[in-house]
Chains A and B, each alone.
Chain A
Amino acid sequence: MLTRRHMLQSSALGFANLALAGLLSESQAQPVPANPLAPRLPHHPARAKRVIFLFMHGGPSQVDTFDYKPLLQRDDGRPLPFARPRVVSSVTGNLLKSPFRFAQYGQSGQWVSEVFPHIASCVDDLCFIRSMHGSNSRHGGALLELHTGSDTFVRPSMGSWITYGLGTENQNLPGFITICPTLTHGGVNNYASAFLPAVYHGTPIGNASTASERATIPFIQGPTPTGIQRMELDFLSAMNRDRLTHTGPDAALESRIASFELAFRMQAAAPELQDISRETPETLRLYGMDNDPTRNFGRQCLMARRFAERGVRFIQVTHSYKWDQHDQLRRDVAKNALEVDQPIAGLIKDLKRRGLLEDTLVVWGGEFGRTPTAQGRDGRDHNPQGFTMWLAGAGVRAGLAYGATDDYGYYAEQDKVHFHDLHATMLHLLGLDHLRLTYRYAGRDFRLTDVHGEVVEGILA
């Protein structure tokens, strides 16, 4: 018997399973190659069909955004009244209060700082996890742990695991897309399939240094005019079919014929997908695309919605490495927040009014949080011990604040949620059991959650 892995390796069709059955029916000899990206049934009924992960690279400060700490405000300048972790990234001093004002919003009365006025207007749709924690205090390790579950080895990223588990719904597009990903701190390893078959590798649309306006799928455009290219492909197809009569049936050769047709269709579909000129001015405004500070990230969020609409399984949107406030906290937290606040709120509202929020899981967060203690006079150090992420949409309890850090926001203390738990929960919402989503590699069955992870029942709707 062909193993699944072997079949994937030897005859993976890539993005499509075209009419091979007809082609092969003459011989009935070779198995039709299973399309590794065909949609697959989940382990249990899914609440979410797809994920949009809004990644804030650098480590946004929880105590300046969503985790309000009155005692921190009160005790500004005093020493931290408990011990710091054994391993820290930099030396920090005494407690540093947030320079931003907090208020409660919505029916749910969630605390949000003044830097996020638009997100504040959506809090009844959000589910905050205020007790996130990770294991690594450096960007590289923490990014890898957040994206792949391991801060030690190269492992498949969560988007790869999810497309491996569920396939994808639009065979004309990649199943896992990452818009303007970072190439530092693990870079490609954060969206790579590692030992999973390459079809589950994330497809980058641009990168952190590209303006989102210019971000495209690799090799999607070339110098050959479409009409000529069509003639070339027809001739190629004739040659290849001729060759098949010489070789006899061969699933790999047939897959390859199909892959050119798919490529041609992708090429035709891509400009339409990236052409946002048909979006209404109102929609563009909703994402802040009429304003300079929000234009770039606004387009990324709008692209995410367009991919979600078209059935892409996992979409990551990266706000590039800007959230690392070792200094200039007051200035830069405000500036970063300004760039993403309206686009993110616009995305949530847009998904909601189109009915997409019901089966789309939106995840917001960074690789760690920051210390409530001061680095210099106006900065905070990395802090994986306790920070905030939020989820919205399919299957999560809206308007909830789950878990808590200590009185100063340093350590997660109540209902702690590790990255492994977040991964288990994301898979759960997608209908996948993190214990059963395994892949045999180098002599053992690997999981996204390795030997850890528990579904956070408390945030499920």
Chain B
Amino acid sequence: MTTRLLLSIGLTVLLTMPAFGQDKALDPVAVKFFESNVRPVLANRCFSCHGPEMQKSKLRVDSLAGLLQGGKSGPALMSGKPDESLLIQAIRHGESLQMPPRMKLPAREIADLTAWVKMGAPWPNAKPTVVKAEAEDSEPVFTMAQTGHWAFQPVRKPKTPAVKNQAWARSPIDAFILAKLDEKGLTPAPAVDARTLIRRVYFDLIGLPPSPAEVETFVNEFASAKPQAALAKVVDRLLASPRYGERWGRHWLDLVRYADSNGMDENHVFGNAWRYRDYVVKAFNTDLPYDQFVREQIAGDLLKDDSGKSTDDRLIATGFLSIGPKMLAEDDPVKMEMDIIDEQVDTLGRAFLGMTLGCCRCHDHKYDPISISDYYSLAGIFKSTKTMDNFKVVARWQERLLGAVTSEKQPVELKSEQPKKVDKKAPSGPEAMAVSEGKATDLRVHRRGNHLTLGKEAPRRMPRVFSNLKQGLIDATQSGRVQLANWLTQPEHPLTSRVMVNRLWHWHFGTGLVSSVDNFGLLGEKPSHPELLDWLAATFVESGWSMKAMHRHIVLSSTYQMNAAYNEAAFQIDPDNRLHWRHSRRRLEAEALRDTLYVLGGNLDLTIGGTLFAATNRKYVPGYPNAMYDKYDIPRRSIYLPVIRSALYDVLQAFDFADPSFPSGERATTTVAPQALFLMNGKIVHDQTRLWTAKLFADKTLNDAGRIRRVYLQAFSRSPTDKEITRSLDFVERIESELTRKKTADAHAQAWQSFCRVIVSANEFVYVE
């Protein structure tokens, strides 16, 4: 893991500098000045780090040659030009370099050195200097280990391996899994029972539990001659349900750090971010092909539909680039812009490529074959894209009028006629956070990520390591986003399809075949089943990038339908279950847990889309919790609750909701006391169990045992055993008598509520097998 790879070989060229050493010509006054006012300063202040013993940043200042040659940051001395000499900038403690680092020299010494440089830097007995300069920003040479890394090789659809247990290997997925298990002498766990299976499939595909009636129907059909057909029917029904997009769209929102406010330093309301969220839900529900989904998020504003028109949806899709957290009150506008671009490049890299491109803002990637100039080539594409209206303090992100782009005549004219008179605070119609083409510009490499130390120009293009892929030419008028989007989604791209099918696998099973879902680079984990990953990737592309097709492949496999039974021998060999010898038990995500509480209370509101966030767009979010929004107990699905950066809803946060400050393809699953405290004391737990209890009593056909049975069916999708019924009734009775003893008014109902509270706290409820 930590093996350092050979990074780069800098190209060295010889530069001949004007030769110095006109010893004879030196003015004795100048020599005296140097010896009394300059050399001692250099010796006392600088030699310890930049002298014979140590050469920090490859710089020596104990000879004129050393100063002219310079170090990592380039020549330290420009004779006669103090303001342009790094030496002088550094001792002045200028912005990009401060030397000595912790102690500014006395003003006198600074003045002397400055005067000396100005007089031409006379240095007695200096030898003629031929400066051997490191070529500025030379491209690194990638090693075989880097370019040959598995993830950069083309996807080839492997043959399905032959396995003995053909009955089990229902799908090619199973054959790949079984082949590995066979290798290790492991056998797959038995098939799961129908009740556990339907609960698993419901939570997995729609994030909600099946109703008792749905469970019973499925159990009966699954027991018939064609259990897989029965399952396929359920899967199709769930995939066609709007609930599916609400579940799987939320996974995507984690990845694109979705939020309804900016967070960071100036937390402003993103009053139109929800349109992007609704776009994502719709994209999943309509099974928008993934390649198109990617293209729209990067360049939707530039894509035309079949009739040559743009659409609102595609414009909204570019919200992907805009909804990130931004430092809106950065006093340095250039830094602000580069930070925003960096956030875009980094999110794009992690979400679509599984690459950590952000590393290359300051230097060539330490592990992966991405250079700093590759980074600035990509960054140039976003520099040429307009995300922001301005970079003032406080800066303003761009929003674009909807409806305008669909009708071909209007938008351009409107804007060009009266750009100044339109009151920005009062848009003439609905708007979306969206980007547009900016002024096409190439960026120069920012050495050490600093915009004050610019290197050579990095023309807009795709990273060099993928040179065998097609890339469209970016002409001088374009940002290059269309080319980037097309480049990413060509079927031959080795990462786009692999990264996404691995995410799908991760969201279905809790662990990806590549467990580092956001990092396919050299420091990422190796795939547990490389052939299966490639089979899935190839199948994904063949299916027209259909996510629903992949869900069907996965859910209908035997691999998915194993039970979660413990097996001592298998556990010893593979404790993490990377080989899939059983199904891994998983805790409900925050949203599924909360939504189910509303299902049980019978008041879940299934309205789709729209915003619950009434706060004025761009308004400052004040510094107390729930300042802008305090109605989190509204019975809508959790995906529709506002996500306010810096004031996240505490219930979701307690259960490992993804931090919307950065892309996250993998949520943590922690078990911490605050979760228990929430279930013991949380308001919605009390409110919802009260409603649930009331519903149990509203059904007059139920007796006490019937109520216990109903509770078990609703919460666990199974009936209680006789012993469980007896024990539960005993518990209710004891609580009731205790409450009665304490003269509590509605002891009976409260005792049942106690029982319901225990049920939703139980492991069997909170975990899906």
A423 at the interface (CB under 8 A from B): no
Report B-chain residues with C-beta under 8 Å of the C-beta of A13.
671-672
A443 at the interface (CB under 8 A from B): yes
Q: Can you list, as one digit per residue, whether each of B425-441 has a CB less than 8 Å from chain A (1) or not (0)?
A: 00000000000000000
Q: Can you list, as one digit per residue, whether each of A147-187 has a CB less than 8 Å from chain B (1) or not (0)?
A: 00001111000000000000000000000000000111111
Q: Would you list 23 pairs from A and B whose C-beta atoms are within 8 A, ordered by A residue?
A: A6-B576, A15-B673, A30-B571, A89-B331, A137-B331, A144-B264, A154-B325, A184-B646, A187-B645, A187-B646, A194-B659, A198-B656, A217-B677, A219-B682, A220-B681, A222-B680, A233-B680, A236-B761, A250-B566, A255-B671, A414-B103, A443-B367, A444-B523
Among A140, A227, A231, A414, the residue within 8 A (CB) of B265 is A140
Most buried by A among B516, B680, B742: B680
Q: Which residue of B lies closest to A82 (CB)?
A: B107
User: Is there an interface contact between B521 and A443, defined as CB atoms closer than 8 Å?
Assistant: yes
In the bound complex, CA of A209 to CA of B659 (Å): 23
| Nearest CB of A to B62, in Å | 24
User: Is there an interface contact between B356 and A443, defined as CB atoms closer than 8 Å?
Assistant: yes
Report B-chain residues with C-beta under 8 Å of the C-beta of A218.
650, 654, 674, 677
Q: Which residue of A lies closest to B362 (CB)?
A: A451
Q: Can you list, as one digit per residue, whether each of B508-519 has a CB less than 8 Å from chain A (1) or not (0)?
A: 000000011011
Closest 9 CB pairs of A and B: A140-B265, A222-B681, A248-B566, A14-B672, A187-B646, A263-B676, A209-B624, A184-B623, A154-B661
In the bound complex, CA of A240 to CA of B727 (Å): 13
| Nearest CB of B to A36, in Å | 9
User: Is there an interface contact between A247 and B585, defined as CB atoms closer than 8 Å?
Assistant: yes
**A189-B263, A224-B680, A239-B762 known; A414-B104 Cβ under 8 A:** yes
Report B-chain residues with C-beta under 8 Å of the C-beta of A197.
668, 670
B366 at the interface (CB under 8 A from A): yes
Q: Can you list, as one digit per residue, whether each of A254-275 has a CB less than 8 Å from chain B (1) or not (0)?
A: 0111011011101100000000
Report A-chain residues with C-beta under 8 Å of the C-beta of B566.
29, 247-250
Report A-chain residues with C-beta under 8 Å of the C-beta of B266.
140
B564 at the interface (CB under 8 A from A): yes
Among B646, B672, B764, the residue within 8 A (CB) of A189 is B646
Q: Which residue of B lies closest to A27 (CB)?
A: B568
Among B359, B625, B661, B764, the residue within 8 A (CB) of A243 is B764
B171 at the interface (CB under 8 A from A): no
Q: Which residue of A lies closest to B365 (CB)?
A: A443
User: Is there an interface contact between A199 and B662, defined as CB atoms closer than 8 Å?
Assistant: no
Report B-chain residues with C-beta under 8 Å of the C-beta of A255.
671
Q: Which residue of B lies closest to A239 (CB)?
A: B762
Q: Which residue of A lies closest to B679 (CB)?
A: A260
**A121-153 contacts to B (CB < 8 Å):** 136-141, 143-144, 151-153
A46 at the interface (CB under 8 A from B): no
Among B263, B675, B681, the residue within 8 A (CB) of A187 is B263
A229 at the interface (CB under 8 A from B): yes
| Nearest CB of A to B156, in Å | 26
Report A-chain residues with C-beta under 8 Å of the C-beta of B515.
6
Report A-chain residues with C-beta under 8 Å of the C-beta of B356.
442-444
Report B-chain residues with C-beta under 8 Å of the C-beta of A225.
742
User: Is there an interface contact between A2 and B576, defined as CB atoms closer than 8 Å?
Assistant: yes
User: Is there an interface contact between B331 and A30, defined as CB atoms closer than 8 Å?
Assistant: no
**A240-B763, A262-B676, A443-B523 known; A224-B331 Cβ under 8 A:** no
**B247-272 contacts to A (CB < 8 Å):** 263-267
Q: Can you list, as one digit per residue, whether each of B726-742 has a CB less than 8 Å from chain A (1) or not (0)?
A: 01000100110011001
| Nearest CB of B to A87, in Å | 5
User: Is there an interface contact between A253 and B329, defined as CB atoms closer than 8 Å?
Assistant: no
Report A-chain residues with C-beta under 8 Å of the C-beta of B673.
14-16, 259, 262-263, 266
A281 at the interface (CB under 8 A from B): no
Report B-chain residues with C-beta under 8 Å of the C-beta of A321.
623
In the bound complex, CA of A65 to CA of B565 (Å): 66
A416 at the interface (CB under 8 A from B): yes
Q: Which residue of A lies closest to B525 (CB)?
A: A3
User: Is there an interface contact between A222 and B682, defined as CB atoms closer than 8 Å?
Assistant: yes
User: Is there an interface contact between B587 and A252, defined as CB atoms closer than 8 Å?
Assistant: yes
User: Is there an interface contact between B585 and A416, defined as CB atoms closer than 8 Å?
Assistant: no
Q: Can you list, as one digit per residue, whether each of B326-359 has a CB less than 8 Å from chain A (1) or not (0)?
A: 0101111000000100100000001000001011
In the bound complex, CA of A218 to CA of B523 (Å): 38
In the bound complex, CA of A208 to CA of B623 (Å): 7
| Nearest CB of B to A227, in Å | 7
Chain A interface residue count: which class? Answer: 35 or more
B190 at the interface (CB under 8 A from A): no
In the bound complex, CA of A444 to CA of B519 (Å): 10
User: Is there an interface contact between A442 and B758, defined as CB atoms closer than 8 Å?
Assistant: no
User: Is there an interface contact between B670 and A198, defined as CB atoms closer than 8 Å?
Assistant: yes
A25 at the interface (CB under 8 A from B): no
Report B-chain residues with C-beta under 8 Å of the C-beta of A223.
681, 686
Q: Is the interface of A mostly helix, strand, loop or mixed?
A: loop
User: Is there an interface contact between B575 and A209, defined as CB atoms closer than 8 Å?
Assistant: no
| Nearest CB of A to B740, in Å | 12
Supply 4 further A-B pairs (C-beta < 8 A) apart from A184-B646, A247-B565: A154-B325, A267-B677, A444-B356, A444-B367
User: Is there an interface contact between B265 and A192, defined as CB atoms closer than 8 Å?
Assistant: no
Partner-A contacts on B (CB < 8 A): 93, 95, 98, 101-104, 263-267, 325, 327, 329-332, 339, 342, 350, 356, 358-359, 366-368, 393, 515-516, 518-519, 521, 523-524, 564-566, 568, 571-572, 575-576, 585, 587, 622-625, 627, 645-648, 650, 654, 656, 659, 661-662, 668-678, 680-682, 686, 727, 731, 734-735, 738-739, 742, 754, 757-758, 761-764, 766-767, 769
In the bound complex, CA of A444 to CA of B360 (Å): 12
| Nearest CB of A to B712, in Å | 11
User: Is there an interface contact between A444 and B646, defined as CB atoms closer than 8 Å?
Assistant: no
Q: Which residue of B lies closest to A456 (CB)?
A: B102
User: Is there an interface contact between A29 and B571, defined as CB atoms closer than 8 Å?
Assistant: yes
Report A-chain residues with C-beta under 8 Å of the C-beta of B678.
219
A188 at the interface (CB under 8 A from B): yes
| Nearest CB of A to B560, in Å | 19
In the bound complex, CA of A227 to CA of B734 (Å): 12
In the bound complex, CA of A188 to CA of B644 (Å): 11
Among B264, B330, B674, the residue within 8 A (CB) of A219 is B674
User: Is there an interface contact between B669 and A139, defined as CB atoms closer than 8 Å?
Assistant: no
Q: Which residue of A lies closest to B757 (CB)?
A: A232
In the bound complex, CA of A6 to CA of B331 (Å): 40
Report B-chain residues with C-beta under 8 Å of the C-beta of A87.
95, 331-332
A235 at the interface (CB under 8 A from B): yes
| Nearest CB of B to A296, in Å | 15
| Nearest CB of A to B442, in Å | 23
User: Is there an interface contact between A267 and B670, defined as CB atoms closer than 8 Å?
Assistant: no
User: Is there an interface contact between B661 and A194, defined as CB atoms closer than 8 Å?
Assistant: yes
| Nearest CB of A to B269, in Å | 14
| Nearest CB of B to A149, in Å | 15
A98 at the interface (CB under 8 A from B): no
User: Is there an interface contact between A198 and B668, defined as CB atoms closer than 8 Å?
Assistant: yes
**A187-B646, A250-B585, A443-B367 known; A236-B758 Cβ under 8 A:** yes
In the bound complex, CA of A9 to CA of B510 (Å): 12
User: Is there an interface contact between A443 and B742, defined as CB atoms closer than 8 Å?
Assistant: no
In the bound complex, CA of A220 to CA of B731 (Å): 25
User: Is there an interface contact between B329 and A260, defined as CB atoms closer than 8 Å?
Assistant: no
In the bound complex, CA of A41 to CA of B646 (Å): 33
User: Is there an interface contact between B646 and A239, defined as CB atoms closer than 8 Å?
Assistant: no
A353 at the interface (CB under 8 A from B): no
Q: Can you list, as one digit per residue, whether each of A22-57 has a CB less than 8 Å from chain B (1) or not (0)?
A: 000001011100000000000000000000000000
A212 at the interface (CB under 8 A from B): no
In the bound complex, CA of A187 to CA of B627 (Å): 13
A85 at the interface (CB under 8 A from B): yes
Report A-chain residues with C-beta under 8 Å of the C-beta of B676.
256, 259-260, 262-264
In the bound complex, CA of A189 to CA of B645 (Å): 9
User: Is there an interface contact between A10 and B646, defined as CB atoms closer than 8 Å?
Assistant: no
User: Is there an interface contact between A239 and B735, defined as CB atoms closer than 8 Å?
Assistant: no
**A413-461 contacts to B (CB < 8 Å):** 413-417, 442-444
A411 at the interface (CB under 8 A from B): yes
Report B-chain residues with C-beta under 8 Å of the C-beta of A2.
575-576
